[in-house]
Amino acid sequence: MRKVYVVGHKNPDTDSICSAIAYAGLKKEVTGKEFVAKRAGQINEETQYVLRRFKVDAPRLLQDVKLQVKDLDIHKITGVAPGVSIKEAWELMKTQSVKTLPVLKDGELVGLISTGDIAKSYMDVYDNTILAKARTQYRNIVRTLDGEIVTGNEHGCFVKGKVAVGASTTDRMAEFIEKDDLVILGNRYESQACAVDINASCLVVCHGAEISEELIQKAEEQSIVVIKTPHDTFTAARLINQSIPVKYFMSKGPLTVFHMDDYVDNIKEEMTKKKFRDFPILDRHGNFKGFISRRRFLDARKKQVILVDHNEKSQAVDGIEEADILEIIDHHRIGSIETMGPVFFRNQPVGCTATIVTQMYEEYGVEIPPTTAGLLCAAIISDTLLFRSPTCTEMDRRTASKLAETAGVVLEDLAAEMFNAGSNLKGKSAKEICFQDFKQFTVGDTVFGVGQINSMSSDELEDIREKLLPYLDQAREEHKLNMVYFMLTHILHESTELLCSGAGARETVLEAFELPEDMDPVLLKGVVSRKKQLIPALVSALQQ
């Protein structure tokens, strides 16, 4: 089942995070499919407090929505160790209906064995010393021949000599069989004794024939391995090459491998140059995770996302243009997001996305759990500054009151706790404070950003002012912005001191609000909302 990510904007606030969590829960309840809440940036202090308060884990970070290998259908497959026989590998291929197996050592990919490699071991090998060259383990020979060890160490390896069939007279055998050879024999005592006298490394006795105790004892004294197989000499001779370990025939490299975090667009070109059917996938530790076929690469589908609390491309998670946007749930102005086809777009002029999400729970007839109610209530408190923001509507008030009752919280108490947590910025750098709640906008050729901090303490806002003022020019240059504004909003006084950086920034805001040219600092009485009060005024001034 494909995952659908529900994600808010970069520099997420409480509404962005809590609405994503709540809406993912609603979609999962209604559809039975997998919807996962994500975040597109670092969570601020206020939101961290809310999540701790209601004992909810923070969504995991979604750095971008570009399609990665880990998003594809990876065929998980059982690999083989380098010492496994060709026969066992072949049987595993048939069981898993695959044509290639990974050869793994402690989880790490060391090679690939394919049906072509196995065919080569039959068709292209005429060397009767190949078992020794491949250092074939006697245990492999026993398993391949369905045999048993009569005497000797099955963990030892055949490392010297050739494979021979002792079907001749003992005189003839003495001419072509040498010390350390592996000899395939029948039930004739004379032939068995001849091979022991020559000091062969291994005797393979066919037809399940009995071997005299005298020869077994002599073989033990000479460290000769004796294997008994139910097969006849022809079958044993035909099968024995299948005991060769896969490491001898496997493709060792350089192998064409891809990693879980690779972006599909970045590897498609390399993949199309290769004629392989399947490509091995490794994790960041180099461990094998499975195969992806060429067809799965070419048929790769985009990540599916639902955007909440924004519809501006500049505020969206990186790579949004490559994603399949299914829905947008928002309460801001219509921005610059473009989609490939029609999507479900719900945009209402209310103070908070959480208000819309609560409505949708009611419309679907899904009961809101107390924990989710607490998150949604906190989001409304945050976005409306406990109903002080001009963006706040009567619907926000009613919704928050109902959610507070379900969650068992007192609105004023929760608001005080949240705002205190959010304005507690001790130990944070100017950069961290600046981009804690920061949004970027574009008007014509002008790109500007606006950050905001809400507090109930004048002293705290003054401390933040002193820390931020020297940093704003640097922030503007680093993010290639024409202008940067920062709102120091006093919740109780319902006013904002606006810090400005960039050519024309101060003049633009003075013009937008018809303020005196010599006003310093820039004080905006009654202005607490970035979305409804500051941004529309700045956009209008810039357009003129």
| 415-473: pLDDT as tens digits | 999 988 887 777 789 998 898 889 899 999 999 999 998 888 888 899 899 999 999 99
Q: Which of 2-11, 224-233, 258-267, 492-501 has the lowest mean pLDDT?
A: 258-267
At 186, is the secondary structure helix, strand, or coil?
coil
Residue 9 has pLDDT above 80, yes or no: yes
Claim to verify: residue 386 and residue 526 sit in the same structural domain = no
Please tell me the predicted confidence (pLDDT) of residue 69.
86
**Ranges assigned E (strand) in 269-313:** 278-282, 288-293, 304-308
Region 247-261: what's the mean pLDDT? 87
Region 30-50: what's the mean pLDDT? 94
DSSP string, 372-424: HHHHHHHHHHHHHTTTTSTT--HHHHHHHHHHHHHHT--HHHHHHHHHHHHT-
Instruction: Examine residue 487 and state whether it is found in any structural domain, yes or no.
Output: yes
Q: What is the CATH number of the domain that holds 399?
A: 3.90.1640.10
Claim to verify: residue 115 and residue 224 sit in the same structural domain = yes
Using only the alpha carbons of the chain, give its radius of gyration: 37
Please tell me the predicted confidence (pLDDT) of residue 1.
65
Give the contacts of 528 (CB within 8 A, at least 6 positions apart): 385, 388, 389, 390, 454, 489, 491, 494, 495, 496
The pLDDT tens digits of the residues spanning 524-538 come to 999 998 988 999 999
The pLDDT tens digits of the residues spanning 137-186 come to 999 999 999 999 999 999 999 999 999 998 788 888 888 899 999 999 99
Please tell me the predicted confidence (pLDDT) of residue 405.
97
Please tell me the predicted confidence (pLDDT) of residue 321.
87
For tokens 């050729």, name the residue.
445
How far apart (Å, rounded) are the C-alpha atoms in residues 259 and 70? 8
User: Hey, what are 246's tokens?
Assistant: 């896969």
DSSP string, 203-270: EEE-TT----HHHHHHHHHTT-EEEE-SS-HHHHHHHGGGGSBGGGTSB-SS---EETT-BHHHHHHH
pTM above 0.75, yes or no: no
Residue 272 has pLDDT above 80, yes or no: no
Stretch (H or E) spanning 472: helix 472-478
CA distances from 36 to 223, 396, 427 (A): 64, 26, 32
The residue from 422, 445, 469 where one domain ends is: 422
Claim to verify: residue 412 and residue 314 sit in the same structural domain = yes
The pLDDT tens digits of the residues spanning 206-217 come to 999 989 999 999
How far apart (Å, rounded) are the C-alpha atoms in residues 444 and 316? 19
Claim to verify: residue 116 and residue 242 sit in the same structural domain = yes
Claim to verify: residue 534 and residue 513 sit in the same structural domain = yes
Claim to verify: residue 150 and residue 235 sit in the same structural domain = yes
The pLDDT tens digits of the residues spanning 318-351 come to 989 888 999 999 998 888 787 878 899 999 999 9
Q: What is the CATH number of the domain that holds 177?
A: 3.40.1390.20
Stretch (H or E) spanning 510: helix 505-512
Please tell me the predicted confidence (pLDDT) of residue 456.
82
Region 229-240: what's the mean pLDDT? 93
Claim to verify: residue 236 and residue 182 sit in the same structural domain = yes
Total domains in the chain come to 3
Claim to verify: residue 224 and residue 320 sit in the same structural domain = no
Claim to verify: residue 235 and residue 311 sit in the same structural domain = no
Please tell me the predicted confidence (pLDDT) of residue 278.
82
Residue 297 has pLDDT above 80, yes or no: no
Q: What is the CATH number of the domain that holds 494?
A: 3.10.310.20
The residue from 248, 270, 291 where one domain ends is: 248
Q: Which of 23-27, 84-88, 166-170, 510-514 has the lowest mean pLDDT?
A: 166-170
Claim to verify: residue 109 and residue 201 sit in the same structural domain = yes
User: Hey, what are 227's tokens?
Assistant: 């294997």
How far apart (Å, rounded) are the C-alpha atoms in residues 37 and 306? 9
Residue 89 has pLDDT above 80, yes or no: yes
Are 528 and 390 in contact by the 8 Å Cβ rule? The answer is yes
Count Cα atoms within 13 angstroms, Cβ side, for 386.
Answer: 18
Examine residue 254 and say whether the peptide bond preceding it is cis (omega within 30 degrees of 0): yes
Q: What is the mean pLDDT of the chain?
A: 91
Claim to verify: residue 402 and residue 483 sit in the same structural domain = no
Give the range of the structural domain holding residue 143, as residue numbers without chain letter.
86-248
Please tell me the predicted confidence (pLDDT) of residue 334.
86
pLDDT classification of 125: cutoffs 50, 70, 90: low
Claim to verify: residue 418 and residue 437 sit in the same structural domain = no
pLDDT classification of 296: cutoffs 50, 70, 90: confident
Q: What percent of the chain has pLDDT over 70?
A: 99
The residue from 208, 230, 248 where one domain ends is: 248
- Return phi, psi of residue 28, to 5°: -65, -40
